[in-house]
């Protein structure tokens, strides 16, 4: 664990869609201290800086299962539906997604300027 933090700290995850960039401490499906929890995809993970508990993990993003680009988990950049899709790929294959997701995305697009505080 100690070794991991110092070794991998230099690694930086960068979302290829929004440009968010932040160091990650783990890449894979079983971040440390997650016990019974397993990730269903290989993720870039860091320690949750907003939790009082040191051992909480935070998934930053993963690779799009179609194009392989790094995408953060922000809803503007990617979507997880059994596997990860970056928004570019989602839009390309929109018709294959369930209607719930389609209408959700439509709704989000309508207000031309999304809530950016």
Partner 1 sequence: MDRDQRRDRGGDWDWDHPQCRAQLDQIFFRQQDYIQAGSPEHRDFWTFFERFQRFRTRRDVRGPGPGSSGETPGGGGTRGQRDLGLPKEYDARYRINMSVCTGDVEERLGSRPPGSGSSGSRPPGSGSRGPGPEQIADCRLAYLHFLDFTQRQSFGKLARLRRDQKNLPIHQYRDRIVDLVRRHPVVLVAGDTGCGKSTQVPQYLLASGLSCIACTQPRRIACISLAKRVSFESLNQYGSQVGYQIRFETTRTAATKLSFLTEGLLLRQIQQDPGLDQYQVLIVDEVHERHLHCDFLLGVLRPLLARRPALRLVLMSATINIKLFSSYFASAPVLQVPGRLFPIQVIYQPIPPEEQASRLEKLDPRPYLRVLQGIDRRYPPEERGDLLLFLSGVAEISTIQEACQVYATHTQRWIILPLHSTLSLAQQDKVFDISPPGVRKCIISTNIAETSVTIDGVRFVVDSGKVKEMSFDPKAKMQRLQEFWISRASAEQRKGRAGRTGPGVCYRLYAESDYDAFAPYPVPEIHRVALDSLVLQMKSMGVGDPRSFVFIDPPPAASIQTAMTYLREQGALDRHGELTSVGSLLAQLPVDVVIGKMLVLGSVFNVVEPVLTVAAALSVQSPFLRSAQHNPDCATARQPLHSNQGDPFTLLNTFNAWVKVKGERGGGSRKWCRRRGLEEQRLYEMVNLRRQFKELLKSHGLLEAAPPPAGERGQRRERLTERRKLHQLKREHDLTEGSRRKVLRLGEEGEGGSDSGSDAESTDRRTKDKDRPGQSTDIQEVKFKLRHNVSELQEAALASQDLSSRQQSILKLVLCRGLYPQLALPDEHNATRKDSEQVFHTRSKQGVVIHPTSVFASDPEVLRVPEDEVRELGNAPPPSLTRHQLLSFVTLLETNKPYLSNCVRVPALQALLLVANSVDSNADCSRLVIDGWLELELREPDGALKVLSSALSLRADWERLLLARLGQCQNQGQGLGRGPGQGLGQDQGQGASGAGVSRKEMDKLSEGLVRFLLYTEVSYSLRRLTAFQTQNLYVGPQAETEPPQNPLFPGVEAKPDPIKGGLRVSAFFTYNCLADARDLYSECLRTFWTCPTCDLYMPFTPLERMQHEAACRRPGELQDAAAAAAAAEGSKAARSLAAPSLTRVYHCDVCDEDLTLSSTEILKHKRQHMASLK
Under rule CB under 8 A, residue 98 binds partner 1: yes
Chain centroid to CA 59: how far? 6
Contact pattern from residue 78 through residue 97 relative to partner 1, giving x for each residue in contact according to CB under 8 A and a dash for the rest:
-xxxx-xx------xx-xxx
Q: What is the DSSP letter of 16?
A: T
What span, in angstroms and rounded, lies between the C-alpha atoms of 1 and 47? 12
What span, in angstroms and rounded, lies between the C-alpha atoms of 65 and 73? 13
Compare residues 72 and 87 and give the one whose CB is closer to partner 1. 72
Under rule CB under 8 A, residue 3 binds partner 1: no
Which one of 17, 26, 44, 59 is in contact with partner 1 (CB under 8 A)?
59
Closest CA relative to residue 17, chosen from 63, 64, 70, 83 = 70
Which one of 23, 28, 68, 114 is in contact with partner 1 (CB under 8 A)?
23
Under rule CB under 8 A, residue 4 binds partner 1: no
What span, in angstroms and rounded, lies between the C-alpha atoms of 35 and 109? 38
Residue 112: CB minimum distance to partner 1, A: 19
Which region, left, alpha or beta, applies to residue 94 given φ > 0 means left and ψ of -120 to 50 means alpha? alpha
Give residues in contact with partner 1 (CB under 8 A). 5, 18, 20-23, 33-41, 43, 46-54, 56, 58-60, 62, 66, 72-74, 79-82, 84-85, 92-93, 95-103, 116-117
């Amino acid at each position: 664990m100690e070794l991991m933090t110092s070794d991998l700290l230099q690694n930086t995850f960068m979302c290829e869609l929004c440009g968010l960039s932040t160091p990650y401490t783990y890449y894979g499906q079983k971040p440390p201290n997650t016990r019974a929890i397993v990730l269903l995809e290989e993720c870039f993970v860091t320690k949750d800086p907003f939790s009082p508990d040191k051992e909480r993990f935070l998934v930053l993003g993963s690779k799009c299962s179609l194009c392989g680009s790094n995408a953060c988990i922000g809803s503007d950049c990617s979507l997880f539906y059994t596997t990860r899709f970056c928004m570019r790929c989602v839009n390309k294959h929109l018709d294959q997604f369930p209607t719930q997701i389609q209408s959700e995305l439509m709704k989000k697009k309508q207000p031309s300027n999304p809530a950016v505080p």
